[in-house]
Amino acid sequence: MTEQHQLCLVLSTLLLCHYLGDFCLTTKSMIRAKSNGKEYFPILLHAGVHAMLMALALALFGVSFQGCAVAFLIELVSHFIIDTAKSKLSIIYEVLRDNTHKPYWMVYGFDQLLHILVVVAIIGLCL
C-alpha cells in the first residue's frame, strides 16, 4: 500500500469515527446538553467518545502511545470547545435552533468543517 493510500485510509477511518461519535453514539442527555447550552458534563462525555474513538483508530494504524495521547487530548478539547460554542450561539440566536432556516445549516456545516479540519490536523501531527 502506498503512503497516499494509507493516508486516505486513515482519513476515511477517522471520518467514520467522527460519524459514529456524532450520530450513532450520542445519547439523549448529550443532545439535550448541546441544545440547552447549560450542561457541560454531557458535552464533555460526547467529546470523550470522539477522542477515544480517534485514539483507538490511530492505535490500530500503529501510531505510538504518545501520538494517540496527543490526538486524544486535541480531539477532546477541540470537540468540547466547538460543540459548546455552537450550543452557546444557539442560545443567543434563536434562528440557529430552527432547521428550517438557512443560518441553522450554515452553522451546522461550519461546525462539521471545524471538526474535519481538526481530524486533518491530527493526521498531520500524529502520522
- Chain segment 69-108, per-residue pLDDT in tens: 999 999 999 999 999 999 999 999 999 999 999 999 999 9
The predicted structure's pLDDT at residue 119:
98
When divided into structural domains, the chain yields a total of 1
The residue range of the domain holding 63 is 3-126
Count CB atoms within 10 A of the CB of residue 75.
28
The predicted structure's pLDDT at residue 1:
82
* Percent of the chain's residues with pLDDT above 70: 100
Kindly tell me if the per-residue pLDDT of 37 is higher than 90: no
The predicted structure's pLDDT at residue 65:
97
Show the DSSP H helices in 1-127 as ranges. Answer: 3-19, 28-36, 41-60, 65-92, 102-126
Among 7-11, 31-35, 117-121, name the one with the lowest average pLDDT: 31-35
The predicted structure's pLDDT at residue 61:
97
Residue whose C-alpha cell is 500503529:
62
CA distance 28 to 20: 15
Entry pTM: 0.94
